[in-house]
Amino acid sequence: MTDAKTRIDETVKSNDVVLYMKGTKEMPQCGFSSRVAGVLNYIGVEYTDVNVLADEDIRAGIKDYSDWPTIPQLYIKGEFVGGCDIITEMTLSGELDGMFESNNIAFDKAAADKIREANG
Task: Map out the domains of the chain with their CATH numbers.
Answer: 4-119 (3.40.30.10)
- Condensed to tens digits (0 to 9), the pLDDT of residues 93-120 reads 999 999 999 999 999 999 999 999 999 7
Q: Is the pLDDT of residue 2 over 80?
A: no
Q: Is 30 marked within a binding site?
A: yes
SS3 6: helix
Reported confidence tier of residue 1, pLDDT bands at 50, 70, 90: very low
- Condensed to tens digits (0 to 9), the pLDDT of residues 43-63 reads 999 999 999 999 999 999 999
What is the chain's mean pLDDT, rounded?
A: 96
End-to-end, the C-alpha distance of the chain in Å comes to 48
